[in-house]
């Protein structure tokens, strides 16, 4: 019996690796899977994913420690990319910040020093050496108890996975890892610990891992994006009428989906939503022809006042995008109902609006017209402007496809939304390119391919 140990630290990891034919995947002959979950979700995951081959255990709260947070901050600040540069500028120049000027100057100086050093491969190697040399063993007890043959870290950037990789490598345990998202190698990690084998979702991520994380191509395998398997298979998608009835939409009208992108774009998101509502009020967009479904960012729980503003002031539809398990920033969870709602939202949208979200990729898989928010309410510095989003590395790759219509003023925004509704085949080829580049494999079997690859490491 072989044992694979895998941390499942949050909803993103659970979505990608447990909600895609998990019963079949975790039925690999002669293999035991030890899955680690945080205290607040351990019972939930045990009930949700009960398979004889899975043993659940407690994930130590390593990522919450002051030391691990410091290493993570330094690594992210050191990323030698356009994304990191603009994020550093944003934190320094952020509108409405209450942080004292001297503190911001000091923080910006540190970030830019680390960013400058991050351009040198010798610095990245020294950083990895220093982190590895720091002997901490929060995972020592677990590795001694379960004696895994292989450790697989499915996100790298969550759950203290680098601490786990470090301890596993010290013990001579084979290590395999995969970065969870399309922007990870340009904004979050240059592989603080290099695993024995690296799985990447796309050729773009492979390129970035080689360039920014100094990882050799010979030890990488492209497996596709498991989080999009269900999208490709259209799992849980129903016809338009029952879905519209469920969300209170009018079957006779087209559906505009407005997807919030997170904290960093919140000001631009609300401004664009106000412009959209104003477009309906003054007749530039017709309520007789179209309706809007607003999708809050899954990781951020909205207040009642925010929800009321969308529904009552703007007259738009709104539904909670995820389930909540426990409290805190990681309470969000893509359960089966949330995934079905997501896929039906994408399947039945007639146009999708966002600022800088992966929703662009998800909507492209469904072939939907994409509108990007690239304008502001009044004058903004470059670091505070919505125009900066497509200067980020991963969104710059998206911009090259020609699959996203970028609105650069309020009037242009309304005109672009109208064009998306009236001429949905425009930019269709670019959207297909986005889906190809950001999924790589389009057979809906990336999760299965990933685990076959992990299991084959036993044969190396």
Domain parsing of the chain, residue ranges: 2-65+126-225+444-459, 81-113, 236-439
CA–CA gap between residue 90 and residue 85 (Å, rounded): 9
Q: Is the pLDDT of residue 456 over 80?
A: no
Query: Looking at the chain, how many residues does it have?
Result: 460
Number of other residues whose CB lies within 10 A of the CB of residue 78:
23
In this predicted structure, the answer to whether residue 222 has a pLDDT above a threshold of 90 is: yes
Judge whether 2-65+126-225+444-459 and 236-439 match in fold. Answer: yes
What is the tens place of the pLDDT at every residue in 44-88? 999 988 888 899 999 998 888 899 999 999 999 999 999 999 999
Q: Given this model, what pLDDT does residue 180 score?
A: 87
Condensed to tens digits (0 to 9), the pLDDT of residues 339-358 reads: 999 999 999 999 999 999 99
Give the model's pLDDT for residue 452.
85
What percent of the chain is predicted at pLDDT more than 90? 82
Residue 221, pLDDT > 60, answer yes
- Pair type for strands 197-200 and 2-7: unpaired
Task: Indicate the pairing of strand 220-222 with strand 197-200.
Answer: parallel
Arithmetic mean of pLDDT, 295-311:
92
CATH superfamily for domain 2-65+126-225+444-459: Glycogen Phosphorylase B; (3.40.50.2000)
Q: Which residue has the higher pLDDT, 158 or 253?
A: 253
Which pLDDT score is estimated for 459? 53
Q: Residue 64: what pLDDT?
A: 80
> Between the CA of residue 181 and those of 16, 202, 240, 394, 432, what are the distances in Å?
10, 10, 30, 10, 19
Output the pLDDT for position 205. Answer: 97
CATH topology of domain 236-439: Rossmann fold (3.40.50)
Return d(Cα 349, Cα 97) in angstroms, integer: 36
């Amino acid at each position: 019996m072989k044992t694979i140990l895998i941390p499942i630290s949050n909803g993103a990891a659970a979505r990608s690796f447990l909600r895609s034919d998990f019963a079949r995947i975790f039925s690999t002959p002669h293999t035991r899977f030890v899955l680690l979950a945080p205290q607040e979700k351990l019972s939930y995951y045990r009930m949700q994913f009960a398979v004889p081959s899975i043993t659940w255990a407690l994930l130590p709260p390593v990522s919450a420690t002051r030391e691990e947070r410091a290493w993570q901050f330094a690594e992210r600040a050191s990323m030698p990319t356009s994304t990191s540069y603009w994020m550093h500028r944003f934190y320094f120049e952020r509108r409405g910040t209450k942080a004292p000027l001297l503190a911001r100057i000091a923080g910006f100086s540190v970030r830019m020093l680390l960013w400058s050093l991050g351009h040198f491969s010798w610095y990245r190697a020294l950083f990895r050496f220093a982190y590895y040399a720091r002997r901490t063993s929060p995972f020592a007890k677990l590795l001694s108890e379960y004696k895994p043959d292989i450790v697989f870290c499915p996100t790298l950037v969550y759950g203290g996975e680098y601490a786990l990789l470090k301890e596993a490598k010290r013990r001579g345990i084979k290590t395999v890892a995969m970065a969870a998202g399309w922007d990870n190698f340009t904004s979050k990690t240059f592989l603080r610990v290099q695993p024995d084998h690296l799985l990447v979702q796309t050729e773009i991520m492979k390129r970035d891992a080689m360039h920014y994380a100094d990882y050799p191509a010979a030890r990488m395998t492209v497996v596709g994006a498991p989080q999009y398997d269900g999208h490709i298979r259209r799992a849980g998608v129903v016809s338009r009428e029952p879905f519209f009835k469920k969300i209170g939409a009018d079957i006779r009208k087209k559906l505009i989906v407005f997807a919030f992108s997170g904290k960093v774009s919140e000001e631009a998101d609300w401004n664009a939503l106000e412009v959209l509502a104003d477009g309906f009020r003054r007749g530039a967009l017709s309520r007789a022809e179209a309706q809007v479904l607003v999708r809050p960012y899954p990781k951020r729980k909205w207040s009642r006042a925010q929800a009321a503003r969308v529904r009552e002031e703007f007259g738009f539809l709104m539904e909670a995008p995820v389930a909540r398990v426990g409290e805190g920033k990681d309470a969000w969870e893509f359960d089966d109902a949330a995934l079905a709602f997501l896929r039906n939202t994408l399947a039945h949208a007639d146009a999708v609006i966002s600022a800088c979200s992966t929703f662009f990729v998800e909507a492209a898989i469904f072939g939907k017209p994409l509108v990007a928010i690239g304008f502001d309410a009044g004058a903004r510095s470059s670091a505070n402007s919505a125009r900066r989003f497509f200067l980020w590395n991963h969104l710059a790759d998206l911009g090259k496809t020609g699959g996203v219509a970028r609105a650069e003023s309020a009037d242009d925004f309304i005109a672009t939304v109208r064009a998306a509704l009236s001429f949905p085949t425009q930019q269709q080829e670019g959207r297909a390119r986005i889906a190809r580049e950001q999924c790589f494999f389009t057979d809906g079997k990336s999760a299965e391919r990933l685990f076959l690859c992990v299991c084959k490491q036993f044969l190396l």
